[in-house]
Amino acid sequence: MTAHPALTNYVLMRASHRQTRGIDVGTAAWPIPALVDNALAMYVEWREATDTVADTYGRWCIAPAGEEAPRFAAYMAALDQEQTAAGMYAGSIKELERWLPDTPTHI
């Protein structure tokens, strides 16, 4: 099966552009859109987890007598999930940064 001629030209143009920036064509930045999508998805999961933490904390704070322990347990579980989500988000950003060597380390 042969590729569409326009796609072939596009691939050649992209390769030339990457070579001029000093990026090896064999490890070209093709996965960057997927990595950005993943980082964005991980960010959304982390933010949702922070909302859950706030919600469970509020429920624990107003717990009636006898319900403090289960609500505290729910709060602690939410904190664990938020920590996991934050770690996944951080990992996705590190992976994205690995593919963006020209990105400044400070803004």
DSSP the chain: -PPPHHHHHHHHHHHHHHHHTT--GGG-STTHHHHHHHHHHHHHHHHHHHHHHHHHHHHHHTPPTT-HHHHHHHHHHHHHHHHHHHHHHHHHHHHHHHH-TTS-S--
49 neighbors 9 (Cβ within 8 angstroms): no
42 shares a domain with 14: no
Percent of the chain with pLDDT over 90: 58
Q: Name the pLDDT band for 105 (thresholds 50, 70, 90).
A: low
For residues 107 and 5, the model is more confident at: 107
Q: Is 20 exposed, middle or buried (0-12, 13-18, 19+ CB in 10 A)?
A: exposed
In tens, the pLDDT along 22-75 reads: 444 445 546 889 999 999 999 999 999 999 999 999 999 999 999 999 999 999
24 shares a domain with 9: yes
Predicted local confidence at residue 100, as pLDDT: 84
Kindly state whether residue 104 falls inside one of the protein's structural domains: no
- Number of domains, the chain: 2
49 shares a domain with 11: no
As a whole number of angstroms, the distance between CA 22 and CA 19 comes to: 5
Kindly state whether residue 107 falls inside one of the protein's structural domains: no
Predicted local confidence at residue 31, as pLDDT: 86
23 shares a domain with 6: yes
Domain that holds residue 7: 1-29
91 shares a domain with 60: yes
